[in-house]
Structure 1
Amino acid sequence: MRKAYILTVALFAVAFSLAFASDPDPLQDFCVALKDYSDSKSAVFVNGKFCKDPKLVKAEDFFFEGLNIAGNTDNKVGSNVTTVNVDMLAGLNTLGVSLARIDFAPYGENPPHTHPRGTEILVVAEGTLFVGFVTSNTENRLFTKTLNKGDLFVFPVGLIHFQLNVGKTKAIAISAFSSQNAGVITIANAVFGSNPPINPDVLTKAFQLDKNVVEELQKKFEVDNY
């Protein structure tokens, strides 16, 4: 009897831990994020945002225009990401989804990066992309694929991944995320362009590089951080 009681308590503990390990499901149709917090005293606070009074919600709160406009790829990496997350579209709050358009110049790249809060599913709208992701440190296994127009690829949440335009013409991709704000950490920018800079001795040992090389990279990313 005692063993059964202990097992029951253990199962409840696991259930509660799982329940609090992910974002709560919305308990209403929507929670349009307030951009002006002046009326927040009487508003509900959900997922880091105050909810707009449902009676004041309009169709425009769920509308975004401009994804037909190409992003400026005239930069060091030859790519541009136009993000549509909860900060750009208030109606996304609590819905657990967001979107992005990625433009690539010929041979442009979306450098190795990670989304800490969301899985990404990418579809190629134009051009040819070489894409891939690396698993965690247990294996550091690399998965890659060359995608053409209409092809789709998934990048699991939190894993380092990249996209490279391998064509002579521009490329366009549309990405959807399993988060209203998946976040992004571009590896090179975060490591060599942090503010304040990481101690060069740390990076010298971590990357097995000469200290002069590390310091040069830090100067480069300090100036060219995009």
Structure 2
Amino acid sequence: MAFKGKVVIALIPARAGSKGVKQKNLRMLLGKPLLAHTIQAAHDAARIDRVYVSSDDADALRLAREMGADVVQRAASAATDSATASEVVWDFVRQIPEELTAENPYLVFLQPTSPLRTGNHIDAAFTVMTSTDSNICLSVTELKKTPFKSFTLTADGRLQSLFDEHLTNANRQTLPVAFHPNGAIYIFPLAEFLARTSIPSNGGAPYIMSEQESIDIDTEEDFAMVEKLCRAN
């Protein structure tokens, strides 16, 4: 189903390498590969028209095809440990059919490390965009500790308040509520990405998710936590 008259494309990045967990995207979780959870979520989302998986891993691409997704063979330069999400999007845009890019589609960037994000979450994020008349949305979770009391270090090792120094001594209740992206959902028009040369966020609508829904799998402990949560429910 299109959004604001534009095609909606899900992009799922699934590179082969992983430092924390070997072959993480193909690691079995609750009876199926981690990557499969996100492909299924994209298929379940009513708003998404097409699902693409970008990977340099032949097994991940094979799984994607078996699950009815389109695939993009990711360039080596966009599959390194240091490659950013924006570089993955650039690589994808260079490879998809020109007629798709000409339509200025909406891209929904869905990282497979967020297996508790479902199709319902994705559709709900689009509902937030509609209610706020926004073209950009990202999923966030509320920070437990305020960043306004944070410090960094100067070149000579001295403390320097990250924000205004007076805020470091303010009552927590008087400080603004702060959020951070949980990595589960990023929605934006292709034209906005091209204009900013990176995945846009400022001015976007927040789709707020709970701490449990926001688990981002990076370690063996994360896998165990997700399995425990799902079995408890």
Is TM more than 0.5 here? no
Which one has the bigger helix percentage?
A: 2
Higher RCO (CA-CA < 8 Å; seq separation 6+): 2
Larger Rg: 1
TM range (shorter): under 0.3
